[in-house]
Structure 1
Amino acid sequence: MRHLYLMRHAKAKQPRGDMTDHQRPLRKRGKHQAAVMAPVLQRWQALQGEVYVSTAARTRETFDDIAAQLPDRTLANSVHFDEALYTFDIEALLAWLKALPGEAERVLIIGHNPALVDLARWFDKAAPPSLPTGSVLHVTLPDRPWSSMGQGGAELVGQLSPAEASYPLFKRLAPKQPDHKRDTASHIHAMLEHQYRMIRALEPGVVAGIDPEFLHQYRVNLRRSRAVCESVLAITKVPGLKKRLKRLKRRAQATSDLRDLDVFLEDLDKTQPPLSANTRQGLQQWLEGFQRVEHHTLCQQLSAPEYAEELQGWQRFIASGEFDKALSTLSPKRIHAVLEERIARHDDDLAALSFDASDTALHELRKSLKRIRYLADLMPDISKPFLSELKRRQRLLGDFQDLFTRQVWLDAFCANADNGQRQKQECSQWRAELEKTKHNLRKDALALAPLPKAQK
């Protein structure tokens, strides 16, 4: 089987003065696009074969910025700059492709539209009708000479844009936050509709699995939607809402282990844990194995027809007249009354904590803070100092929960018979050090004063 990767150059500047199209350099955003696609190309094994690049400045710079992200790869030995690839015509590109040597099994082309997208659709009608700057298409072809490739004789097996590989790039195009200057019911409805749009817009990035921030934001919007509506239920009755919230909860829970693994692996990359290189590598590979399994399972769930039906049902529900009718009964006064009740309950739970309280008790305290936070979000004019204090406490208890989660994974690593005894011993010792850090965070949590009043 042969593999063909078609990449459009990253975002380029418009020509000015006597600058020709061939001389157009990349914009700053284009350089970022090219950089974030480097791990995508590496993961897809697109750089293991021959790389052919148009001689235009914007395609050359796209390649250079990719290569800069992979200093361990000697890409200069496999790249070919070809004037024939500076074309926008499918016939010219197809003629070039059919002239490739037979030994070229993997080929990456960095070139131009519309030639690239037209070629992809010539091979497979399932290919997208457009190809944003910096995007890549992966096509597989039969193992026969390039010269004999025929129309419709290939299969599109992958496609990815920079906005699906990088959350910062996605954020530029993401649905905008709603205007808060509206009545309570309209504010809540706009908030939930925005969160729904975000969930759906984040899904391609979650499936791509390149930037873990997509999963984090996907999880946040699921949980925030659920929490907002639980807050609504605490104030007024909404027929059918509780049942739908259970489904949102199930969807959010399906991301829990994968998110914990992402955070743990990111921490391993950024910090220097007290582990030998061999143990660190063994732990990382073991965690990455679980990460791949969890990601595959989540992708299967997101591609299932019942998932789309469930989310579409949720959108119809929050847009229904019955839900609007329930929201119309809300008022800032009623929301504030429930908020004060939750603050009082949180303060009671905080006062009841002792130094030997279980880790679960501190986790429950963190969850109660989130419920207060989401309820406070229903009141756009809530005081900023109060919200800042909530966020500070959430960070403290969140750090505690992260340490607890790492201990759970270290325990699982040590319990695995396939891992070496020395690796297990080092991880067990690290777990004990994490317990000391947890001890200090526990002291900080117990020293917290009651929450201030939620003044407007």
Structure 2
Amino acid sequence: MKHLYLIRHAKSSWADDGLRDHQRPLNNRGLKQLAPMSRAIRADGAFDGTVYCSNATRAQQTLEGLIPSNHQHAVKLAPVLYTFNHEVVLDWLRDRNEDSITLVGHNPALEDLAGLLLKHAPDTFPTCSYMHITLPIEHWCEIGKNRGRLERFLTPKDVSYEQFHRKRTKIRIDEHSPLAWHIPESLLHQYQRIRDLEPGVLQGYDDEFLHQYRIAIRRSRAIAEAVVDISGDSDLRKAVKSLKRHGQATSRLRDLHVLLGDLAQWPLEEDTRLALVSSGARSYFANLADIEHQELTKRLSSGQYRKDMDEWYQLITSRHLKKITRKLAIEDIHKALKKHIHKHDAVARQLNEQSPDDHFHDLRKRLKRIRYLAELNKPAFHDRLRPLKHRQQRFGDFQDLHVQIDMLLAFRNSIATEPDMLAPVAGLNTLISDLAVEKHRVRADILTLGGIA
């Protein structure tokens, strides 16, 4: 078995007309492509064998930004790879004898080479993209048409949300018109965004993909639940439940992402920092995140998920939904909003220092529904939406602290009886105590907010 790894150079600059093609460097966009792709390519083992790189400046700069320093001894410059003809690369490969070869080169040579080796090759091979191809051959001279199997294909937009988002088209809707007038179009836009984000979520290299995926599901639910709240439509209510289940399945992983991010950023005392290191807390939570990601990958790859998303698409593009939304009146939105604000304020008045956390979480859910209803008529509720977002942020902070304290307590309890863990447990107790103080402060802030009306 032979392994062939193909890497196209990152985005290059055409700014200097005086440079020969061979001398062109990477531009700023190309430099930004390197860091996110490096992690993914290294994890796939592309730098474990011999690496051959075109001697063009842009190819060498690409490799320097991708390969770790301890693998640079395996790099060999290959002027033959500065070519746009895949036949040249193919002939050169036939004389190799390594089991694993990585090529850093140019299009169309690499794209055409993949097209020859693979029965179903990717349609394009963008800058800084990567392919791993396996070949069931003993010698490279046996390489030929359709002999390869594509093991992995990654582009920068699959591993970096920044690269994914760079050229995203936004839905073009008159910002001064109520959302109720264009609900089907908005739901379709969110549906397409969910589907486009799925590859990045599945790859798992950038946590922001999951965050944006959750936002797209929440926005879809928000719009649909607001319509259900007003219309009472049973078909839409049933479909929203499936969407809600898929969103809830991401909650644990997102909580772990937030905790791991905060652990890396919190200004911790030295004793607490050492406690996290010696106890293995970060590794513990990172392992939990890996397990959750594996479960989420299974879910998003399942037939049930595809069925639910297909049914959701059929509903939001149906005449039935258009008929429901055409009947929506601004007065209906105002009436439903008034009812929910009244219920929210009644619960808010009962909150006090002794109220359990669940009561705060319940109020947070009520607040979200109010905001979603208000967004159905942004022109009328523009002045209210910003304060609602501020309230929601405070409740979100409270929720994060509640979850983080619970996760840290569970970890502390799991190591409390182990030998030599006295000092780490003490450090964890300090961190948990500090978070509890911050949680109490946020709780006090929420209690001062009062009602909405």
**Given the two structures, how large is their TM-score scaled by the length of structure 2?**
0.92
Whole-Å separation in 2 of the counterparts to 1:276 and 1:265: 13
**Alignment-derived partner of residue 200 in structure 1:** 195
Residues 10-409 of structure 1 correspond to what in structure 2 (within 5 A)? 10-14=10-14, 17-67=17-67, 73-102=69-98, 105-142=99-136, 144-180=138-174, 182=177, 184-274=179-269, 275-277=272-274, 279-280=276-277, 282-409=280-407
Decide whether the 8 Å contact of 1:15 with 1:21 is kept in 2: no
Give the match's secondary structure for 1:80: strand
User: What does the per-residue CA deviation read over 1:343-376, in whole Å, with 9 as the maximum and x for residues that have no partner?
Assistant: 2222222111010111111122222221112112
User: How far does residue 95 in structure 1 lie from its aligned partner after superposition?
Assistant: 1.9
Counterpart residue number, 2:438: 437
Alignment check: 8 A CA contact 2:180 2:376 kept:
no
Cα deviation, residue 304, structure 1: 1.6
Residues 424 and 154 from structure 1, CA distance in 2 versus in 1: closer, same or farther, beyond 3 angstroms?
A: farther
Moved over 6 A (4+): none
> In 2, distance between residues paired with 1:408 and 1:147?
59
Gaps of 5+ in 1: none
Q: Contact 2:375/2:381 (CA < 8 Å) preserved in 1?
A: no
RMSD, aligned α-carbons:
2.2
Preserved contact between residue 214 and residue 247 of structure 2 (Cα < 8 Å): yes
Say if 1:95 and 1:15 are closer, same or farther in 2 by CA, change over 3 A: farther
Residue 413 in structure 1 maps to residue 386 in structure 2: no
Is the contact between residue 117 and residue 145 of structure 2 (CA under 8 Å) also seen in structure 1? Answer: yes
Distance in 1 (CA, whole Å) between partners of 2:139 and 2:411 is: 48
* Paired residue type of 1:137: M
Higher mean displacement: 73-82 or 258-267:
73-82
Matched pairs, number: 446
Kept in 2: contact 1:347–1:450 (CA 8 A): yes
Q: Which has the higher mean CA deviation after the structures are superposed, 206-215 or 5-14?
A: 5-14
* TM-aligned CA deviation for residue 167 of structure 1: 0.8
CA distance in 1, matches of 2:137, 2:277: 40
**Residue by residue, what CA displacement relative to the aligned partner does 1:63-115 show, whole Å, maximum 9, x if unpaired?**
23335xx5xx334433222211111222111122233343xx44322111222
Q: In structure 2, the residue corresponding to 1:316 is in which secondary structure?
A: helix
8 Å CA contact 1:174–1:201 kept in 2: the answer is: no
Secondary structure of the residue that 2:153 maps to in structure 1? Answer: strand
TM-aligned CA deviation for residue 152 of structure 1: 3.3
User: How many Å separate the matches in 2 of 1:390 and 1:79?
Assistant: 56
1:4 counterpart residue number: 4
Residue identity in the other structure for 1:170: F
Paired AA for residue 444 in structure 2: K
| Pairwise CA distance, 1:215 | 0.4
Which is further off, 378-387 or 368-377? Answer: 378-387
3-state DSSP of counterpart to 1:74: helix
CA distance in 2, matches of 1:349, 1:339: 16
- Could you say what secondary structure the match of 1:381 adopts? helix
Identity of aligned residues (%): 38
The aligned residue for residue 447 of structure 2 is: 446
In structure 1, C-alpha distance between the alignment counterparts of 2:380 and 2:257, rounded to whole Å: 33
Deviation, 1:156, is 1.3
Aligned-residue offset at 1:278: 6.0
Counterpart CA distance in 1 for 2:55 and 2:238 is 59
Distance 1:377 1:29 in 2: 36
Q: Deviations over 1:16-47 (max 9, x none)?
A: 63433223322221111122211112222222
Task: Decide which moves more: 56-65 or 318-327.
Answer: 56-65
CA drift at 1:384 = 4.0
Query: Does the 8 Å contact 1:178/1:194 carry over to 2?
Result: no
SS in 2 for 1:51: strand
The whole-number CA distance in structure 2 between the counterparts of 1:419 and 1:297 is 29
Rounded to whole Å, the distance in 1 between the matches of 2:301 and 2:367 is 33
| Structure 1 position 448, deviation (Å) | 1.0
CA apart distance, 1:325: 0.8
Instruction: String of CA shifts for 1:107-131, please: whole Å, max 9, x gaps.
Output: 3221112221222233332331211
TM normalised by structure 1 equals 0.91
Give the match's secondary structure for 1:377: helix
